[in-house]
Amino acid sequence: MMGCEAQSWEPEVYEFYGDGNTVLEKLNKIDMDLPHRRLYLFSLETPDSAELRVFEKEDDEKVSVDIWEDGDLGDLRERIHDAILANRGVACVGEQTRALVAGAVEARREAGIPRPVSPYAAFAHSLQRHGDEFVRAAVFLMC
């Protein structure tokens, strides 16, 4: 299997709890191959807030990021997990997830952002804002 077909068969999800700085250190130790991903998501939750970022490749140098921030993700994370399982690697899991998120939240898009080369580059801004605060962070590597 190659490209999207292979990645739709074997998406990856990483989830950590702890203070923002510790979670960032843990995420940065994982080889996520972000420069070669077409679409991936990051969710961050605290007892009082939540955010979701959907990173999508524009070209070899840039990504767009759909950003949603509010008080609660509700059941969206579980719905994404259910969609991955139901897909069974048949269709593009990235496209299915993007459609699911778009139907659930109203995000703002930031385009033309340099492609992150590491988890630190992609997620540090969000996690460092929470420093010593206890968080749950998840990364969904789709395609």
Half-sphere exposure in the Cβ direction for 82 (13 Å, CA): 7
Q: What amino acid occupies position 108?
A: R
Query: Predicted confidence band at 8 (pLDDT cuts at 50, 70, 90)?
Result: low
Domain ranges of the chain: 3-141
pLDDT one-digit tens code per residue, 51-108: 999 999 999 999 999 999 988 898 998 999 998 888 887 788 888 899 999 999 999 9
Q: Given a cut of 90, is residue 128 above it in pLDDT?
A: yes
Q: Given a cut of 60, is residue 1 above it in pLDDT?
A: no
pLDDT of residue 71: 80
pTM: 0.92
CA atoms of 106 and 28, how far apart (whole Å):
28
pLDDT of residue 63: 97
